[in-house]
C-alpha cells in the first residue's frame, strides 16, 4: 500500500515548519511521530477523551480527529509551546501547585483545554470550567484539584 504524501507548511508553537506527511495521517500522529512532540497523547483516537487536545488557530481540537494536511497554513500550539523560556505557564504552575497531576497522562490535553477556557471566557466560574472540561477524561484525580487549579488562575487574573 503506497501512501500518497504531501508537503505542508504551518506555524508550530510560534515557529514555521515544513513537513511531508501521508495524506491519510492524522495530526496527532504527525505531532508525535514526525515532529517528536510526544506531549500530546493518544488515549482513544476517536475524539472521546481529550488527551490529544491542541490549539488550532486559537480553538481547541482533538488532534486525533484531524488530518495532518489540514494544518497547512494554520497555527498550531501544543503543550510544549505553552511555557515561555524557563517559566511554566500559569496553568502549568497551578496544576503543579494544586496537586492536580497524578499519572499525568491526561494533563497536557486538560491544560490545553483549560488555556482555551481561561482565554475565551471573561466570566469563567467553577461550574463553567466543569462543563468546559467535559470532553477531557482523567482516570486518576477525580477532577477536584484540576478545578481548583484552573479556578486559582481565573481568580488571580481578576
Regarding 39 and contact with ligand FES (CB under 6 A), the answer is: no
Neighbours of 138 (CB within 10 A): 23
Question: Minimum distance between the CB of residue 41 and ligand FES, rounded to whole angstroms?
Answer: 7
Query: By CB under 6 A, which span of 1-9, 11-19, 38-46, 84-92 interacts with ligand FES?
Result: 38-46
Regarding 108 and contact with ligand FES (CB under 6 A), the answer is: no
Question: Minimum distance between the CB of residue 155 and other proteins, rounded to whole angstroms?
Answer: 18
Site for other proteins in 72-91 (CB under 8 A): 78-80, 82-83, 88
Nearer to ligand FES, 111 or 123 (CB): 111
Question: Minimum distance between the CB of residue 118 and other proteins, rounded to whole angstroms?
Answer: 15
Instruction: Quote the cell numbers at residue 127.
Output: 461550574
CB-based burial label for 149 (10 Å; 0-12, 13-18, 19+): buried
Instruction: Quote the cell numbers at residue 66.
Output: 484531524
Alpha carbon distances (Å) from 18 to 40, 45, 55: 19, 24, 18
Q: Which residues pair with 11 in a beta bridge?
A: 16, 75
Give 71's contacts (C-beta < 8 A, 6+ positions apart): 8, 10, 27, 30, 56
Q: Can you tell me the distance from the alpha carbon of 149 to that of 145, in angstroms, rounded to the nearest whole number?
A: 6
Regarding 130 and contact with ligand FES (CB under 6 A), the answer is: no
Regarding 52 and contact with ligand FES (CB under 6 A), the answer is: yes
Residues of this chain that bind ligand FES (CB under 6 A): 42-45, 47-52, 62, 64, 101-107, 138-141
Provide the binding-site residues for other proteins, judged by CB under 8 A: 1, 3, 32, 37-46, 48-49, 51, 78-80, 82-83, 88, 92-93, 95-108, 111, 129-131, 133-147
Amino acid at each position: 500500500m503506497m501512501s500518497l504524501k504531501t508537503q505542508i507548511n504551518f506555524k508550530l508553537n510560534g515557529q514555521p515548519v515544513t513537513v511531508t506527511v501521508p495524506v491519510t495521517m492524522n495530526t496527532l500522529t504527525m505531532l508525535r511521530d514526525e515532529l517528536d512532540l510526544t506531549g500530546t497523547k493518544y488515549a482513544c483516537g476517536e475524539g472521546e477523551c481529550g488527551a490529544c487536545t491542541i490549539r488550532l488557530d486559537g480553538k481547541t481540537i482533538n488532534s486525533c480527529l484531524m488530518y495532518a494536511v489540514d494544518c497547512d497554513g494554520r497555527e498550531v500550539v501544543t503543550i510544549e509551546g505553552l511555557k515561555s523560556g524557563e517559566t511554566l505557564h500559569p496553568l502549568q504552575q497551578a496544576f503543579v501547585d494544586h496537586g492536580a497531576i497524578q499519572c499525568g497522562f491526561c494533563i497536557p490535553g486538560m491544560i490545553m483545554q483549560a488555556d482555551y477556557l481561561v482565554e475565551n471566557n471573561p466570566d469563567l466560574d467553577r461550574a463553567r470550567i466543569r462543563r468546559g472540561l467535559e470532553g477531557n477524561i482523567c482516570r486518576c484525580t477525580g477532577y477536584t484539584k484540576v478545578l481548583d487549579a484552573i479556578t486559582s488562575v481565573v481568580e488571580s487574573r481578576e
